Amino acid sequence: MTETKKFDFKAWVKAHAMDLAAYGGLVVCIIIFTIFPPFFGENLWSAAKLSTLMSSVIVTALLSVGAVFIYSMGCMDISVGGQVGLYATIIVVMGNKTGSLIPGILLSLVIALVIGVVNGATGQLLHIYPIISSVVFMMILNGLRSIIYNGLGTRSVTLSGAEYRMFRSPVLMLVVLVVEFLIVSFLFNYTKLGKNAKAIGANPTAAEQSGIHPILYRVLPYLVFACCVVAASVFQMGYTGSASDSTGTGFEMNVMVALILGGMPLSGGMRSKVSKAVVGAFTFSLLEVGLPLIGVPSNMTFFVKAVIFIIVVLITCRKQSGTLPR
């Protein structure tokens, strides 16, 4: 006789409480920003606001989805803002020179892959925290941007030689986000690439001793992330058809906040999920777009977002031991 195992709802809820809290944060935001704005004559679900939401979320979401690979290893890449700024500049400048966006995108991709290789490999080769090499790149890229804009004699460049308005389409944004999400989810959940990344995040020593190549499987996730950074840079540039010496500033923090809001453990490991990046990015952007709709003045939104952020972190980021992640 086979024994039928009874589904234990309570145990399931306990096991998924943190996921539920993170998803619940998004759901609560959606409910609140659906119910209250009509009292203020506003509507989150209007075409204009949905478009604003999509354009607000797209860059952070594309970056965050890719960053899941990096964070799952317990690493961080804080050169991402500098990278987005440089790639957006390259795409605009080369677009104006060649009349096409392709050369700029390809050059950006090459640079991104090189940076990815260096960021991924140096940690293991030089026995330093990978974040250190990303700090170095952040400084190099910011300096490079400063030199470029000094040379150009301006603080921003505008694309006039190529068409970019297609990247402002919310539909295209959604399609690209879904495609990236599916690809990264597949790589993360169904290939050795993702499984090894999580294993490295959970216990690097055990991962290495179980045969996972210590350099290769640290570099490959950075290459996946590099592709996502370039995709995000294209949409960042395409939003206004321009780039400036401050484009990308603070994006590394946006990614971190989005991942934390989504319930992603900063220490990496097996609890890492791609969906958390999307949930966090949408929660983050919903707050940006939704708070003004319920009458919160701009100078108060930082405060309200901070309160919500700390609540979500306290609930979603605790480990079983009750401590916050490193």
Partner 1 sequence: MKKLIALLMALVMVFALCACGPTTGPGPASNPGSETTPGGEQPGGEENPPAPVGGTIMWLSNLTSGPQYEAAMNYGQYICEKLGYTFQVVYADGANDPTGNLNAVKNAMTKDVVGIIATQDGGIQNIMEEYPDLYVAGFNTDMAAIYNEDGPAHSLLENDHWLGTIVDGHASGVDEAHEYSKVVIEGGYKKVATISFPSFAYPQHEVAVKVFREDIDAYNATAADADKIEVVGENKVLMFAPLEESWFMEAGNSDLDAIVGICAGTMFIYPTMKQAMANGNCSADTKLLTGGWETGADLLADIGGDGVIQRIRISPIENIAWAIVQLDNAIQGKPYPDFEPSRLDSVSYEIDSAEDVANIMDHSLNGTLDPKYSQISDADLESVLTRYNPDATLAQLNALFQSEQLTVDALAK
User: Could you please report the per-residue DSSP string of 106-159?
Assistant: HHHHHHHHHHHHHHHHHHHHHTS-HHHHHHHHHHHHHHHHHHHHHHHTSSEEE-
The residue within the footprint of partner 1, chosen from 3, 7, 41, 209 (CB under 8 A), is 41
Residues 237-266 as x/- pattern, contact with partner 1 by CB under 8 A: --xxxx-xxxx-x-----------------
By CB atoms closer than 10 A (0-12, 13-18, 19+), residue 133 is buried
Residues 262 to 321: which contact partner 1 by CB under 8 A?
288-289, 291-300, 304, 307-308, 311-312, 315
**39, 45, 186, 190: residue in contact with partner 1 (rule CB under 8 A):** 39
The interface region with partner 1, picked from 20-28, 188-196, 203-211, 273-281 by CB under 8 A, is 20-28
Two tokens at 66? 């890719």
Shortest distance (Å) from residue 21 CB to partner 1 = 5
| Smallest separation (angstroms) from partner 1 to the CB of 12 | 11
71 binds partner 1 (CB under 8 A): no
- Indicate the helix (H) or strand (E) that contains 242: strand 242-244
Q: Does 140 participate in binding partner 1 (rule CB under 8 A)?
A: no
Burial tier of 264 (Cβ tally within 10 Å: 0-12, 13-18, 19+): buried
Report the distance separating Cα 266 and Cα 275, nearest Å.
15
* Tokens read off for 243: 């780039």
Of residues 36, 129, 181, 309, which one binds partner 1 by CB under 8 A? 36
* Contact call for residues 151 and 36 (beta carbons, < 8 A): no
Binding residues for partner 1 (CB under 8 A): 13-14, 17, 20-21, 24-25, 28-29, 32, 36, 39-42, 48, 52, 55-56, 146, 149-150, 152-156, 158, 160, 236, 239-242, 244-247, 249, 288-289, 291-300, 304, 307-308, 311-312, 315
